[in-house]
Structure 1
Amino acid sequence: MNDCKTRSGRAFDRQAWTYDTARFGSHARGLYPVLLEQLAQIPHGSVLDVGCGTGELLREVGLRFPETARTGLDLSANMLAVAREKLGGAVELVQGDAERLPFADGRFEVLLCNDSFHHYPNPGAAAAEFARVLQPGGVLLLGDCTAPAGLRGVANLFLPLSGEGDVRLYSGAELAALLEPHFHGVEFRRVGRSSLLVWGVR
């Protein structure tokens, strides 16, 4: 496994049992209302959450949209263990790699990816996989952290050296450029001071 992925898996294994209440997960939680608002505006019969962590976003999806078929994928075994305790058998949970999704072509109507994309060493491969598993007309909703250009540049010098498996922070335009070979109608907007929401149609 790629060293970044190994570090990421280990870091989230360590954080899993406290992630829902500790500061580690606060940024991800801050994007839930925005993602759920967007999800309410599109068909969402089947949803895949890539980098689902402890399953908290999938739990929120189930509370708001109980008829939605939910699937979650994460690299961390411990994160998935917490998710299974929380969600029981209501959600399909799979350990796997965002750059090699273990799902059939065109399986999902919506793909959520929240606060995870900056961990991927091969983002183009992940974007291609996201498109592959979405139905034609399916929608990607991607939330992630960002920073102003100067700070982002400095952070990107040091992120690969972190023990957390972080790879790179992106601007909205950079994320859009990564997605546009695989999606149409790609748009993005800033959410608060340190987050982005990006969306596109398969």
Structure 2
Amino acid sequence: MTQLRTGRRRYYDIFSHCYDAFIRLHSRQNEDDTRDFLVDAAHLGGKCIPRILDVCCGTGSVILTFKERCPDALAVGYDFSHGMLSRAQEKNRGDTVFVEGDAAALPFAEDTFDVVTCSHALYELKGETRQTALREMKRVVRPDGYVLVMEHEVPRHPVVRFLFHVRMASMGAKDAREFVRGGLDPFRRIFPSVSLSHSRTGKSKLVSCRK
């Protein structure tokens, strides 16, 4: 792992202590709606025992929501921050598995998962690392599965918008702001099928990809 990535991991280990509070401030009580929007987009109704991977899972809120909706699922949360995973494990009331590692090098075989998600995290990766992570997600999802990437719209609340930009600047992801504001080209360079939708609250956008 590069020195920059190691520095970011330390940052997230510290940030893990207040991450959930930050998300609550940004979502302003809409975080459950946003997660439900993501879970619904996975179209898991016809899967008996779906396999779900959440990349950059943070404190585990998304993958644990999947597990609540699909109790029989094989649910895996994946993150490179030990601090984030520790918080996730504290919230784990079932058999969700949490794995520590780099998004640019997923330790899973090809075509393993029915759904691969990445929620509000991909924009924080630098350009080439981001593209490598997307290629890895494509590799491990099944041919009839989905890669679902949820990203922030730029926050409207002035305090949250300020914290949002400070966060990006502090990690050195110079192209992160352009990625959040940009279109679907980074996804279309990797996936043949890409579509865009928006959450009911207007605070998040969802990119649905298929290979």
TM range (shorter): 0.7 to 0.9
Is 2:38 the counterpart of 1:35? Answer: yes
Instruction: Quote the residue 2:9 is aligned against.
Output: 9
TM-score by length of 2: 0.78
2:169 alignment partner AA: S
Where does structure 1 lack aligned partners over 5 or more consecutive residues?
Answer: 149-154
1:137 has 2:144 as partner: yes
Q: What is the letter of the counterpart of residue 181 of structure 1?
A: R
Corresponding residue of 1:79: 84
Distance in 2 (alpha carbons) for counterparts of 1:16 and 1:161: 16
Cα shift at 1:27: 4.4
Q: CA deviation at 1:141?
A: 0.9
**Aligned partners of 1:146, 1:184: CA distance in 2, in Å?**
24
Partner of 2:158: none
What residue is the counterpart of 2:19 in the other structure? 19
Distance change >3 Å, CA 26–CA 100, structure 1 → 2: farther
Alpha-carbon separation, structure 2, partners of 1:72 and 1:120:
18
Matches within 5 A, 1:1-202: 1-20=1-20, 22-24=21-23, 26-27=25-26, 29=31, 31-40=34-43, 45-87=50-92, 90-121=95-126, 122-147=129-154, 162-164=169-171, 166-167=173-174, 168-169=176-177, 170-171=179-180, 174=183, 176-191=184-199, 192-202=201-211
2:103 is paired with a residue whose SS is: coil
Q: AA paired with 1:144?
A: E
**CA distance in 1: counterparts of 2:84 and 2:170, whole angstroms:** 17
Identity %: 27
1:134–1:39 Cα change, 3 Å: same
Amino acid in structure 1 at the alignment position of 2:153: T
Query: Of the two structures, which has the highest relative contact order with CA contacts closer than 8 Å and spacing of 6 or more?
Result: 1
What 5-or-longer segments of structure 2 have no aligned partner? 156-161
Aligned residues: 192
